[in-house]
A and B are shown apart, each in its own frame.
Chain A
Amino acid sequence: MVNTRARYFFARNTYLFSLLLLAILLSVNYSLQDNLFELRILNNSMRTLLPLIVLAVGQSVVIIGGGIDLSVGTMVSMLVAVLVKLIDAESSSTDIVLAVLAACGVGALAGTLNGVMVAVLRLQPIVTTYATSFIFSGVALVLLPRPGGQIPTELRRFYAGTPNGIPLAFYVIGILILVWMLLRSTRYAQFLFATGSNDKAAYTTGVPVKIIRLTTYIWAGVFAGLAASALTFSTGSGQANIGDNMTLDSIVAVVLGGTRLSGGKGGIAGAIIGVMILRVIRNVIFFADVPTWSQTLVNALIIIAALAGPGLVGLIRRVVNK
Chain B
Amino acid sequence: MALTLFANHIVKRYGGVIAVRDGSLSITSGEVVTLVGANGSGKSTLSKVITGVAAPNEGQLLLDGKEVHFASPQAAKKLGITAVYQELSLVPDMTVAENIWLSHEPLRAGLGVRGGEIRRRTRDLLALFEGTVSPRLQPDTFVNTLPPDERQIVEILKAISNQPRLVIFDEATASLDSAQVDRLFDLIGEWKRDGMAIVLITHRMEEIFRVADRVTVMRNGQTVGTVDIGATSEGEIVQMMIEGASSPGDIRMTPVEVSAPVRLEVSGLHAGRVRGVDLTLRDGELLGLGGLQGQGQTDLLLALFGALPYTGTVTLAGRRIRFRHPRDAMRSEVAFVPGDRGSEGLMLSRSILENFLLPSWRRFGLIHDVQAARGAASSAAEDLSLVYSTLDAPASSLSGGNAQKVVIGKWLLREPKLLLLNDPTKGVDVGAKGEFYALLKQLTQQGTAILFYSSDDDELLGLCNRVLVLQDGLVRDELSGDRLTRSNLVAASLGTGHGKH
Contact = CB atoms under 8 A, between A and B. Distances in A.
Chain B interface size band reads: 20 to 34
Interface string A119-159: 00000000000000000000000000000000000000000
Contact of A11 (B72, B103, B142): B142
B166 to A, nearest CB: 15
A187 B107 contact: yes
Nearest to B48: A204
A321 B141 CA distance: 23
B51 to A, nearest CB: 9
A206 B77 contact: yes
A317 interface: no
Contact of A198 (B77, B90, B111, B158): B90
A320 B267 CA distance: 23
Given A204-B85, A264-B93, A186 B73 contact: no
Contacts of B89: 200-201, 204-205
Given A7-B145, A187-B105, A193 B136 contact: no
A314 interface: no
Contacts of A1: 138
Nearest to A11: B142
A322 B324 CA distance: 10
Nearest to B324: A322
Interface in B104-131: 104-105, 107, 111-113, 115
Contacts of B158: 205
B277 interface: no
B73 A206 contact: yes
B73 A11 contact: no
Contacts of B205: none
A186 B140 contact: no
Nearest to A322: B309
Contact of B138 (A4, A182, A186, A204): A4
Interface string A5-47: 1011001000000000000000000000000000000000000
Contacts of A190: 94, 98, 102-103, 105, 113
B136 A194 contact: no
B73 A8 contact: no
A321 B72 CA distance: 45
Contacts of B179: none
A181 to B, nearest CB: 11
A315 to B, nearest CB: 15
B160 to A, nearest CB: 14
Contacts of A186: 111-113
A203 B107 CA distance: 20
B184 interface: no
B456 to A, nearest CB: 28
Contacts of A264: 91-93
A203 to B, nearest CB: 7
Given A7-B142, A204-B53, A185 B113 contact: yes
- Most chain A CB atoms below 10 A, which of B85, B98, B113: B113
B95 interface: yes
A211 B295 CA distance: 42
B103 A207 contact: yes
A191 interface: yes
Nearest to B78: A206
Contacts of A11: 93, 142
A17 to B, nearest CB: 17
A162 interface: no
Q: How large is the interface on A (under 10, 10 to 19, 20 to 34, 35 or more residues)?
A: 20 to 34
B88 interface: yes
Contacts of A207: 102-103
A208 B74 contact: yes
A205 to B, nearest CB: 5
A185 B98 CA distance: 11
Nearest to A210: B72
A205 B141 CA distance: 19
Contacts of B309: 321-322
Interface in A303-322: 321-322
Contacts of B85: 204
Contact of B93 (A182, A265, A321): A265
A208 B74 CA distance: 8
A299 interface: no
A202 interface: yes
Contacts of A193: 91, 93-94
Nearest to A321: B309
A205 B94 CA distance: 13
A144 B95 CA distance: 49
B4 to A, nearest CB: 23
B140 A4 contact: yes
B142 A194 contact: no
Interface string B124-156: 000000000000101011100100000000000
B103 A205 contact: yes
Interface string B66-95: 000000111001000000010011111111
Contacts of B91: 193-194, 197-198, 201-202, 205, 264
Given A185-B113, A186-B113, A204 B136 contact: no
Contacts of B53: 204
Given A4-B140, A11-B142, A202 B102 contact: yes
Nearest to A3: B136
Contact of B73 (A191, A197, A205): A205
Contacts of A208: 72, 74
23 contacts: A4-B136, A4-B140, A7-B142, A8-B95, A8-B142, A182-B112, A186-B113, A187-B103, A190-B103, A193-B91, A193-B94, A197-B93, A198-B92, A204-B89, A205-B89, A205-B91, A205-B102, A205-B158, A206-B73, A207-B103, A264-B91, A264-B92, A322-B309
Interface of A: 1, 4-5, 7-8, 11, 182, 185-187, 190-191, 193-194, 197-198, 200-208, 264-265, 321-322
